[in-house]
Amino acid sequence: MAEYRQATVFDVAKEAGVSTATVSNVLNRRDVPLSEKTIRKVEEAAAKLGYRRNVMAASLSRRKTYEVGLLLPGFVGYYGLFAQQMERTAHKYGYHLSVFSTDMDSKVERRLLEKLLERRVDGLFCHGLAMSGDSARKVVNDGTPILFFNCWNELKHLAIGTVNLNVYQACVDAVVHLHEQGCRSFFYYGNKRAFATNEQRIHGFREGLRLTGGKHPADMIDVEDIAADDLAEWLAERSEDATPAGVMCFDDWKAFVCQNRLIEGGYDVPGRFKVVGINNEFVAGHSYPGITSFNVPYEHQADMSFRWMLTHLGEQAKLEAKGERPFSPPVAGGEVKIPLTLVERLSSR
């Protein structure tokens, strides 16, 4: 198919015997009145020529791209599922989502951010930016609105708002749950490198300890400090045989590793140790024993995020036309908390 030039509005106009303006009007179904006849003529011409709109030209002319960007640390696990949902939601609202993974690398992050801004995306969603607030501010020096996910630190000031999974509350609930299941010593198995979101979990964990009476033995572990191979022994040394010990983990993958290393070490789960994760990924439901976890309401999370963004882009009118109640965003820099729900499985029974 050498050099098959794509048909343009001009070609369609000529074929249909109308002007390019009319073609554009027909194809974009605007509020202007059009005669049935011209509509048919144009549509037939377009179909015949295999016309396909050139998004770049359209965006350039309209000065709006209907594209929003999503920056993620990666695609695996939770992030992948989240990205898929965001794509669906974007489409539902007539937008196009460009997803990029930063590989947890601030250089890559910076480059992708730049790329997205060069594309003149209408808005930006960022999940777990590694770069500093200052760097980010320097890169995003235009008016492009940004929404952050799971962000509790300085970056908040850059954003029109943040949407956070309530991992704090999840950890509170987890400790309470473990206590109810008979645990009398507690561990948090975390991930320093996740920064603020790890801190949130720790606060929740502590609050859970407080709520369950105060003085049970408890300790923190981090993947950076204890090799997975030593984990089981480490936990066993610091807990007694008489009552089960509860291990609250950063996420399902940490829980998975933790649980398997315990089993490998010959410790009974959930008899001797009870394990809880977060995110309720596939691995949690299909392990043996199944891993107790917290479910993420992806659809709700994505919907909140988009409605907030669209409100900020001045698209309330469209939302309301679709029968949506206008979504009034919190004050600038405000935060939406998405609640997680406990899913009990064998690992904590």
Partner DNA sequence: TTGTATGCGTTATCAG
Partner DNA sequence: CTGATAACGCATACAA
Please report, as ranges, the residues that interact with DNA according to CB under 7 A. 5-6, 8-10, 17-22, 24-25, 27-28, 30, 32-35, 37-38, 51-54, 57-58, 60-63
Minimum distance of DNA from residue 23's CB (angstroms): 7
Among its own copies, DNA, none, residue 197 binds (CB under 5-8 Å by kind): none
Among its own copies, DNA, none, residue 34 binds (CB under 5-8 Å by kind): DNA
| 278 close to 284: Cβ distance less than 8 angstroms | no
Which of 181, 151, 189, 197 shows the shortest CA–CA distance to 347?
181
Which of 156, 209, 155 shows the shortest CA–CA distance to 185?
209
Among its own copies, DNA, none, residue 51 binds (CB under 5-8 Å by kind): DNA
From 11-19, 56-64, 201-209, 300-308, span contacting its own copies (CB under 8 A): 56-64
| 67 close to 39: Cβ distance less than 8 angstroms | no
Binding mask 219-258 for its own copies (x = CB under 8 A): ---------x------------------------x--xx-
Residue 222 dihedral angles phi and psi, to the nearest 5°: -135, 145
| 147 close to 123: Cβ distance less than 8 angstroms | yes
Give 32 or 228: the residue with its C-beta nearer to its own copies: 228
| 294 close to 344: Cβ distance less than 8 angstroms | no
| 302 close to 89: Cβ distance less than 8 angstroms | yes
Among DNA, its own copies, none, residue 20 binds (CB under 5-8 Å by kind): DNA
Question: Could you tell me the two tokens for 177?
Answer: 């749950």
Give 150 or 259: the residue with its C-beta nearer to its own copies: 259
283 binds its own copies (CB under 8 A): yes
Rounded Cα gap, residues 218 and 206, in angstroms = 9
Please select the residue that binds its own copies; options are 65, 164, 212, 311, rule is CB under 8 A: 65
Please select the residue that binds its own copies; options are 20, 74, 233, 327, rule is CB under 8 A: 74
Q: Which helix or strand (DSSP H or E) is residue 295 part of? A: strand 293-295
DSSP assignment letter at 142: S
User: Could you give the C-alpha distances from 305 to 83, 87, 137, 201, 327, in angstroms and in order?
Assistant: 12, 12, 21, 22, 11
Please select the residue that binds its own copies; options are 24, 59, 106, 316, rule is CB under 8 A: 59
Minimum distance of DNA from residue 1's CB (angstroms): 16
84 binds its own copies (CB under 8 A): yes
157 binds its own copies (CB under 8 A): no
From 33-41, 54-62, 167-175, 318-326, span contacting its own copies (CB under 8 A): 54-62
By CB under 8 A, the residues from 292 to 331 that bind its own copies are none
Give 18 or 342: the residue with its C-beta nearer to DNA: 18
Give 158 or 175: the residue with its C-beta nearer to its own copies: 158
DSSP string of 308-348? HHHHHTT-HHHHHHTTPPP-PPPSTT-EEEE--EEE--GGG
Minimum distance of DNA from residue 139's CB (angstroms): 16
DSSP string of 228-292? HHHHHHHHHHTS-SSS-EEEEESSHHHHHHHHHHHHHTT--TTTTEEEE-SB--HHHHHSSSPPB
| 68 close to 90: Cβ distance less than 8 angstroms | yes
Among its own copies, DNA, none, residue 256 binds (CB under 5-8 Å by kind): its own copies
Residues within the interface to its own copies (CB under 8 A)? 1-4, 6, 50, 52-57, 59-60, 65, 74-77, 79-81, 83-84, 87-88, 91, 96, 98-101, 103, 111, 114-115, 117-120, 141-143, 228, 253, 256-257, 260-261, 263-264, 282-283, 286-288
